[in-house]
Amino acid sequence: MNQFSRRIFVAGNWKMLTTPAEAAALVKALKVKVVNIHQTEMAVCPPFTNLSIVAELLKGTAIKLGAQNLFWEEEGAYTGEISAKMLLGAGCEYVIIGHSERRQYFGETDATVNRRLKRALAAGLLPIVCVGETLAQRQAGETEKVVETQVRGAFAEISPADFAKVVIAYEPVWAIGTGVNATPEQAQEVHAFIRRLLENLYNRELSAGCRIQYGGSVKPANAAELMRQPDVDGALVGGASLQAESFAAIIKTAEDLDKG
Ligand code: PEP
């Protein structure tokens, strides 16, 4: 927790990995490793097919459950899609929206991120909204412009009361799954930029209270220096969340940070 009551939040994105048996083994191994975590908020986001089994195994623990996507319609003839109500029924509290892999491979745009966000909030799911620039955009000096467009697009027509429930993940695309993380300075610079932008879009209080996770090749070795940055409020972890050992180590690092 920092002086703005931003509780550090570490979430694991399991992507399209883990069978039900593998998911069960992973969560069983994880939960015994984090029994002494009390300050840091923790969540895992398995694939849809593993949500119920993981929810069952998480009962009685402090680890929360999230999904990796949802559809914006309430229900109906949308073959292959998953609704907010289904996620809630499966035990989810959180949902990742607008991950760069969805933008890259599945045509996700700022407009569809906004539609999904509205549905998640209306249903009572807590969204983790992902933004971040590609390497080409960074090299062209467009990082702030790209992130600003994504933030403005995602939060169009989102009320201050709803915005207060949102977590943002800054995930530079070039850092996701590459082993090349943003430096703590690069992360802090963009997080501070997002916070200034949020102050403009909403107000100082909501901006100061909004948790902004960093994502992109976070591992035990770099977690402390990244999460120690004043505007970095935790991590969205892909690869390193697929092993109980490394994910628990990142959570413990968060727990040990003294961010007054
Ligand atoms: C992610 O999938 O959100 C992510 C940050 O992946 P990785 O930690 O593997 O870079």
Output the tens digit of pLDDT for each of the chain's 260 residues: 676 789 999 999 999 999 999 999 999 999 999 999 999 999 999 999 999 999 999 999 999 999 999 999 999 999 999 999 999 999 999 999 999 999 999 999 999 999 999 999 999 999 999 999 999 999 999 999 999 999 999 999 999 999 999 999 999 999 999 999 999 999 999 999 999 999 999 999 999 999 999 999 999 999 999 999 999 999 999 999 999 999 999 999 999 997 76
For residue 211, the model assigns a pLDDT of 98
- Check which CATH number belongs to the domain holding 174 and give it: 3.20.20.70
Short-list 146, 212, 207, 214, CA closest to 184: 214
Number of domains observed in the structure of the chain? 1
CA distance 26 to 23: 5
Distance in Å, CA 101 to ligand 1 centroid: 10
For residue 259, the model assigns a pLDDT of 73
How far is C-alpha 226 from the chain's CA centre? 15
Annotated catalytic residues are: 99, 171
Model confidence pTM above 0.85: yes
Query: Does residue 209 have its Cβ closer than 6 Å to ligand 1?
Result: no
Reduced to 3 states (helix: H, G, I; strand: E, B; else coil), residue 117 is: helix
Distance in Å, CA 240 to ligand 1 centroid: 8
Print the domain residue range for 176.
Answer: 3-259
For residue 102, the model assigns a pLDDT of 98
DSSP designation for 80: T
Query: Does residue 171 have its Cβ closer than 6 Å to ligand 1?
Result: yes
For residue 3, the model assigns a pLDDT of 67
